Amino acid sequence: MVASGMHVAVSEFVPLPGARVGRDPARAIKRGPSRVPPEVVAATQRDRLFDGLVHTVAQKGYANARVSDICQAAGVTRPAFYALFEGKDDAFLATYRHGNDVLLRLMSRAHQAAPDWRTGGREALRVLLDVLASTPAFAAMAVVEVEAAGPAARRERNKLLLRFGKFFVDAPEQPGLPMQEELVMAVVGGIHASIYRYVAAGRVAELPNLLPLLSYFAAVPFIGQEEAMKDAEAARQPAPKTVAPCTPSDQQGHSN
């Protein structure tokens, strides 16, 4: 989905980590006389480890997830894991960065296709909530477990929140509030806190229900209560959902 009523084929996007199981037979390295190039093998193993790490961390928590658990979930050997990553921390950061790049790409498509900044922000937010709801393992790993993954992971989380500021670049400045960047970051932080609360409580499937409230919250500091209520009402209108690439609903032929 880019704007309400519009569709984008999910095949255009790289799969979100955790949208597939790591031990996916379709990504098995076939043995035989036709050898697969080493770079293809490494890319496939990295891809499967991304999925294996997301599912393992979501199930066990970051502190209890072991490299051997991740390898087992991915169907990849420990030597292959250490050929790609220095350890669990490095693998987590790589998966986190990659997954959020995929998510931001989806959101940016929706934002750029919209006719104005208010619609674009709302549709980007719709994508965020829909995709997280469709991939609960990634939501748990990227929203909640990142807090347990150490200082480097938390720094990456902070960088990610700064990147969300781009969806507000065209928001009007309010007279008497010269610290526009701080205002944007306060709004982004509030949205993140609401999403965190739902994911931590196991309510990932309910995230799309937050769209009217968060649309209002994102708009009201810039356009006032009356206009922000219009955004909340627009968010309540039926619209196609966005699911993460390669989730079961996508594989069954549904488009976002």
pLDDT in tens, the chain (256 residues): 333 333 333 335 578 999 998 887 777 766 655 577 878 888 899 999 999 999 999 999 999 999 999 999 999 999 999 999 999 999 999 999 999 999 999 999 999 999 999 999 999 999 999 999 999 999 999 999 999 999 999 999 999 999 999 999 999 887 776 678 899 999 999 999 999 999 999 999 999 999 999 999 999 999 999 999 999 999 999 998 888 775 544 433 333 3
pLDDT score, position 85: 98
* CB neighbour list of residue 162: distance below 8 Å, 6 or more residues apart: 185
38-41-43 Cα angle (round to 5): 110
* CB neighbour list of residue 88: distance below 8 Å, 6 or more residues apart: 65, 66, 67, 70
pLDDT score, position 242: 86
Q: CA nearest 114: which of 232, 211, 6?
A: 6
Q: CA nearest 95: which of 62, 128, 125, 124?
A: 62
